[in-house]
Amino acid sequence: NAGVTQTPKFRVLKTGQSMTLLCAQDMNHEYMYWYRQDPGMGLRLIHYSVGEGTTAKGEVPDGYNVSRLKKQNFLLGLESAAPSQTSVYFCASSYFTGTQYFGPGTRLTVL
C-alpha cells in the first residue's frame, strides 16, 4: 500500500513550457486535491475532485487545469508555465472524511 504518490519529484521548466503532474492513490478514495505551497506559507487549494470524471476549482485555480479520468489518478496541468507558478505542489486524497492523506510533493521551478 503506497498511499499517495506523486510524479515527478522535481522539475525545472522554462517560461511558456507545459507539463503535467501526476498524482496516484491506492486507497480507493473518492476525493482528491491539488494544493500549492509557496515558501513560508500555508497550503492553498488549486483544484479538487469529488469523484471520477468530476473536478472543481479551489482558491487559486488560474493557470492550471485538472482531469480525473480514473478514480485513482488526478492530473494537474500547466499549459503555459509562469515564474509565479514556482512552488511545491502537494496532492491529497480522502474517503468522504476530512482526513486527507498527502503525497510527498513535487518541487517545480519555472525560470
Partner 1 sequence: DAKTTQPTSMDCAEGRAANLPCNHSTISGNEYVYWYRQIHSQGPQYIIHGLKNNETNEMASLIITEDRKSSTLILPHATLRDTAVYYCIVRVGEMAAGNKLTFGGGTRVLVKP
Closest CB to partner 1 among residues 83, 104: 104
Binding-site member from 61, 63, 77, 105 for partner 1 (CB under 8 A): 105
Q: Distance (Å, rounded) from C-alpha 48 to C-alpha 85?
A: 18
Contact 69, 62 (CB under 8 A): no
Say how many Å lie between the first and final Cα of the chain, rounded.
36
Alpha helices in 7-96 (DSSP H): none
String marking each residue 54-93 x if it binds partner 1 according to CB under 8 A: --x-x-------------------------------x-x-
Nearer to partner 1, 11 or 17 (CB): 11
Can you say whether the dihedral through the CA atoms of 110, 91, 46, 69 is positive or negative?
Answer: positive
Q: Report the alpha-carbon distance of residue 42 to residue 33 in Å, rounded.
A: 15
Q: In angstroms, what is the minimal distance from the CB of 96 to partner 1?
A: 6
Chain residues binding partner 1 by CB under 8 A are 4, 31, 33, 35, 41-45, 48, 50, 56, 58, 90, 92, 94, 96-105
